[in-house]
Amino acid sequence: MSYPFLKGHGTENDFVVLPDPDGTVHGDLSEDRVRALCDRRAGIGGDGVLRAVRRGEGWFMDYRNADGSVSEMCGNGIRVFARYLHEREGEPFPMEVQTRDGTKVLDKQGDDYTADMGSPEVLGETEVTVHGASFPATHVSMGNPHAVVLVDNLAEAGALHEPPEHDDGVFPEGVNVEFVVRRGEHHVAMRVHERGSGETRSCGTGACAVAVVAALADDAPRGTAYRVDVPGGTLSVVWTADDRVLLTGPAVLVAEGLTDL
Ligand SMILES: N[C@@H](CCC[C@H](N)C(=O)O)C(=O)O
C-alpha cells in the first residue's frame, strides 16, 4: 500500500511530512515505520516525521524523532508544517497549529515564517559531559528540554556521534544539547545534538533556548532580536516584552511522492 509524503526542511533540519487528515492512514505510526522513513540510505531520510492530522477546525502536528520517539515540539518542523498546510491544504496565515506543547500561531513575511513558540522556562544550572569533559549548562524548556552550553569554540564539543551524558534526575526523558559561541552583539552560533535524532544541521527550539540564555547573560532588553547561526543556515529569535519567544526562519518543501515504507 502506497501513501503520499512530502520532504522538507528548515535550515536543513529535514523532515518527512505525512498527510493523514482523518488520522486513519498513519494512526498506527510505529517507531519502526518512523525509523524506516527517516533512514538516509534505505528510506526517504530525515531528522524527523511530521504527521498532519485534522483536529477539530484545525490541524495537529504529530512530531516524531528519527529514532521513532515522540517530542513535544519542533521549531523548524512547525514552519515546514505551516508551509505544507498553506500550500497543500489552503490554510491561510496567520494560522494555528496544535502540538503536544499546546497551540502555536504561525505567520509568514516574504520567504520567512515566524512561529510564536510561547514562554520559555529557565529551570536552573546543570552539567553535560562529552568525551569525558564536563561543561556547565543551563536547563531551558521550550516545551521540550534543552541544555545550553556556552563555549569558546564550537569544536570543543568534538564529534557528537553519541548523546552527551546528562543528569537523569534533571532530564528523565533525555535532552537536546546546544553548544554556543558568541559571534558579535546579539549574534551567536550553535551546534546541537538532538534527543532522538543525533547531531543535526539546526534545531528551532534549540535556537530559542540559546537566544534566551544569551539574552539573560547580556541583560538584553526584551524585544532584542538575536541572530542564531546554525550549520544549516540562520534563524532569528526575539524574546518579547510579554514573554513570548518568536522564531523566524525559512521553510522549504523539496519533494513529494508516494512511499510504501
Ligand atoms: N529539531 C527540532 C526539535 C525536535 C525534537 C527534539 N529532538 C526533541 O526530542 O525534543 C526543532 O527544530 O525544534
Number of domains within the chain: 2
Shared domain check, 254 and 171 = no
Contacts of 107 (CB under 8 A, 6+ apart): 93, 94, 95, 113, 114
**65 labeled binding residue:** yes
User: How sure is the predictor about 258, in pLDDT bands with cuts at 50, 70 and 90?
Assistant: very high
- Omega before residue 136 within 30° of 0, cis: no
Q: Could you tell me if residue 84 is left (phi over 0), alpha (psi between -120 and 50 degrees) or otherwise beta?
A: alpha
ipTM of this complex: 0.99
Predicted confidence at residue 205, as pLDDT, reads 99
13 CB near ligand 1 (under 6 Å): yes
Contacts of 179 (CB under 8 A, 6+ apart): 135, 149, 151, 154, 156, 157, 190, 191, 192
Cα–Cα distance for residue pair 90/96, rounded to 1 Å: 13
CATH number, domain containing residue 31? 3.10.310.10
Q: What angle do CA 181, 74, 175 make, to 5 degrees?
A: 60
pLDDT in tens, 111-136: 999 999 999 999 999 999 999 999 99
Is it the case that residue 137 has pLDDT exceeding 90? yes
User: How sure is the predictor about 144, in pLDDT bands with cuts at 50, 70 and 90?
Assistant: very high
Cell readout for 51 is: 504527521
Shared domain check, 176 and 239 = yes
Using alpha carbons, select from 181, 187, 194 the residue that is nearest to residue 228: 187
pLDDT in tens, 172-226: 999 999 999 999 999 999 999 999 999 999 999 999 999 999 999 999 999 999 9
Largest Cα span, the chain: 55
Shared domain check, 155 and 230 = yes
The DSSP symbol for 91 reads P
The answer to whether 226 and 188 are in contact (CB under 8 A) is yes
What's the domain range around 69?
3-117+250-259
Predicted confidence at residue 97, as pLDDT, reads 98
The answer to whether 50 and 88 are in contact (CB under 8 A) is no
Shared domain check, 83 and 16 = yes
**Quick one: which H or E segment has residue 249?**
strand 245-250
Shared domain check, 206 and 141 = yes
Shared domain check, 79 and 129 = no
Catalytic residue among 74, 78, 130, 192: 74
Ligand 1 mean position, distance from CA 72 (Å): 8
Shared domain check, 190 and 99 = no
DSSP string, 153-202: -GGGG---SSPPB--TTT-TT--EEEEEEEEETTEEEEEEEETTTEEES-
pLDDT in tens, 37-90: 999 999 999 999 999 999 999 999 999 999 999 999 999 999 999 999 999 999
The answer to whether 25 and 258 are in contact (CB under 8 A) is no
Ligand 1 mean position, distance from CA 137 (Å): 18
Q: Is 208 a catalytic residue?
A: no
Is it the case that residue 235 has pLDDT exceeding 90? yes
**153 labeled binding residue:** no
Shared domain check, 102 and 144 = no
Question: Mean pLDDT over all residues of the chain?
Answer: 97
Shared domain check, 28 and 97 = yes
Shared domain check, 106 and 9 = yes
Shared domain check, 127 and 94 = no
Ligand 1 mean position, distance from CA 71 (Å): 7
Is it the case that residue 154 has pLDDT exceeding 90? yes
Shared domain check, 85 and 45 = yes
194 CB near ligand 1 (under 6 Å): yes
Predicted confidence at residue 26, as pLDDT, reads 82
User: How sure is the predictor about 27, in pLDDT bands with cuts at 50, 70 and 90?
Assistant: confident
Rg, C-alpha atoms of the chain: 18
Cell readout for 83 is: 508551509
71 CB near ligand 1 (under 6 Å): yes
Region 248-260 average pLDDT: 98
